[in-house]
Amino acid sequence: MTTWLEVAQAVVVFLPTVLFGYFMSIVDIFTKRPKSMVGKIVVITGGASGIGREVAQMFANIGAKIALLDINTELNEKTANEINENAGLAVAFTVDVTKPDKMREVALRVQQHKQLGDPDMVICNAGILWPKGILEQSDDDIRRTMDINLMGYFWTIRAFLPRMLERNSGHIAAISSVSGYFGNTNSSSYSASKFAVRGLMESLEWELYDTRKHGVKVTTVYPFFTRTPLLAHCNVQSRIFQPLSVEQTAQTIVDAILFEKVEAYTSPLVSFWCNGLKATAPQRVKEAFKCLIDVQYK
Domain positions in the chain: 35-297
Q: Which of 102, 203, 107, 97 is nearest to 149 (CA)?
A: 97
Q: So which residues are the catalytic ones?
A: 190
Residues 6+ apart with CB under 8 A from 55: 44, 47, 123, 125, 250, 253, 254
Q: What CATH architecture does domain 35-297 belong to?
A: 3-Layer(aba) Sandwich (3.40)
Query: For residue 273, what are the contacts with CB-CB under 8 A and spacing of at least 6?
Result: 178, 181, 182, 289
Residue 199 identity (one-letter amino acid): G
Residues linked to residue 170 through DSSP beta bridges, in sequence order: 216
Looking at residue 235, what DSSP letter applies? -
For the whole prediction, is pTM greater than 0.75? yes
pLDDT in 10s for each residue of the chain, 298 residues: 667 776 677 677 777 777 877 877 888 778 889 999 999 999 999 999 999 999 999 999 999 999 999 999 999 999 999 999 998 999 999 999 999 999 999 999 999 999 999 999 999 999 988 888 999 999 999 999 999 999 999 999 999 999 999 999 999 999 999 889 988 888 899 999 999 999 999 999 999 999 999 999 999 999 987 776 665 556 666 666 677 788 999 999 999 999 999 999 988 878 887 888 878 888 888 778 777 776 666 6
